[in-house]
Amino acid sequence: MARLVMKFGGTSVADIDRIRNVARHVKREVDAGFAVAVVVSAMSGKTNELVAWTRAAAPMHDAREYDTVVASGEQVTSGLLAIALQEIGVNARSWQGWQIPILTDGAHGAARIMEIDGSRLIERMAQGQVAVIAGFQGLAPDNRIATLGRGGSDTSAVAIAAAIGAVRCDIYTDVDGVYTTDPRIVPKARRLDRVSHEEMLEMASLGAKVLQVRSVELAMVHGVRTFVRSSFDDPADPRLADAENPPGTLICDEDEIVEKQVVTGIAYSKDEAQISLREVADKPGVAAAVFVPLAEANINVDMIVQNVSEDGTTTDMTFTVPTSELERAMKVLEGARSSIGYSSLQGSGDLVKVSVIGIGMRSHAGVAASAFRALAGKSINIRAITTSEIKISILIDSAYTELAVRTLHSLYGLDAA
């Protein structure tokens, strides 16, 4: 029997009615002949509430006890869904992370999955029992519950799919797939039928918040076919019974994508800030002097631009950090002024990074050039540029976000007819 993983996020299990609706989606797949494992999140808002409680109890608290508290949200939904399934005649049993077990490392609050023994699950599923698994949690080496970081139940689902050799990992959420760009900005955005793991990774890390980034990495490494679809579809809708082509977006290996688009999507991430160091000495060790203290302060640096020095003695260095870290980064750099040596330090917030993403870029020249020309045509000033094999990122003032995204979206022919 083919095994299928179905994952339901917080809005999909927000109340008992929604959980009943989820049970009907699960029953549809059971009736279609799949051996099903379901992974659930906590009811929407629940994890935030639990986190707030731990903070109220003590602003600085033991991470192991944080995990004990916040993992409880998923325990509740796993039990409720098992009850709802039993109620409609589906044999089902809940599983907590420690019962499977899902073994993690010891980083409480942000643990990584190390190993999953899928044999017990497979055995029960083969007997016709649906496994309803609490997402977001596992068992740490200290024999205590660990959680995987916010949004971690996507990662639980993909890891379970890899461990039991599922044919697909369906991620049911409150949107019906992955779009060419944010439909709130570009009403002509289209749902993608397929997107490669690599492209999705770029989109996810750039603020297309459908999936936790780590889950996409894991899916890529293990070749898990992940399907993003809506839990708000009527479980009885005949289109959903079409196992070959249900509505949604398949995230898969590049080889499965026959028609490779040059550009697949336009992503953007707000809240970027830019820092410039003027007249930094142009000599070995300067980049380390700038970026090591920032790394030690746990500040993520993204786009880095260093000018070629005119006279061979000094140069300017510019890079971006998240807006929320701007103040802290400036303090760190002020503190390191004597070891770095610069004439002035400038910081500005309110920037946005717009990225053009597509695996077809590997074999097509001129994608960047046409983007720059199109943005110039709209008088949008580019502050920094970075590129990778499948992505071009452009830093601009946030006031131009919508104009830039729309311009690029139609430039590459992504607008819906």
Q: Which residues are annotated as a binding site for substrate?
A: 47, 74
Nearer to ligand ASP, 41 or 264 (CB): 41
Nearer to ligand ASP, 73 or 322 (CB): 73
**Smallest gap from residue 229 Cβ to Mg ion (A):** 14
What are the DSSP E strand ranges found in 294-383?
304-306, 314-322, 344-357
Nearer to Mg ion, 44 or 309 (CB): 44
**Smallest gap from residue 45 Cβ to Mg ion (A):** 13
What are the DSSP E strand ranges found in 188-263?
194-196, 226-230, 249-252
Nearer to ligand ASP, 79 or 349 (CB): 79
User: How are strands ordered across the β-sheet holding 226-230?
Assistant: 92-95, 130-134, 35-40, 3-8, 168-173, 226-230, 249-252, 194-196
Omega before residue 101 within 30° of 0, cis? yes
Binding partner selected for residue 94 from ligand ASP, Mg ion, none, CB under the kind-specific 5 to 8 Å limit: none
Q: Which residue pairs, CB below 8 angstroms and at least 24 apart, start in 198-201?
A: 198/254, 198/359, 198/390, 199/264, 199/265, 199/357, 199/358, 199/359, 199/390, 200/251
Binding partner selected for residue 14 from Mg ion, ligand ASP, none, CB under the kind-specific 5 to 8 Å limit: none
Nearer to ligand ASP, 226 or 393 (CB): 226
Binding partner selected for residue 342 from Mg ion, ligand ASP, none, CB under the kind-specific 5 to 8 Å limit: none
Binding residues vs ligand ASP (CB under 6 A) = 9-10, 41-42, 47, 73, 135-136, 150-154
Distance, in Å, from the CA atom of 417 to the CA atom of 413, rounded to the nearest integer, reads 10
Binding partner selected for residue 248 from Mg ion, ligand ASP, none, CB under the kind-specific 5 to 8 Å limit: none
**Smallest gap from residue 325 Cβ to ligand ASP (A):** 21
User: How are strands ordered across the β-sheet holding 137-139?
Assistant: 113-116, 102-104, 137-139, 145-147
**Smallest gap from residue 172 Cβ to ligand ASP (A):** 12
**Smallest gap from residue 36 Cβ to Mg ion (A):** 20
Distance between terminal CA atoms of the chain?
A: 41
Binding residues vs Mg ion (CB under 5 A) = 9, 151
Binding partner selected for residue 47 from Mg ion, ligand ASP, none, CB under the kind-specific 5 to 8 Å limit: ligand ASP
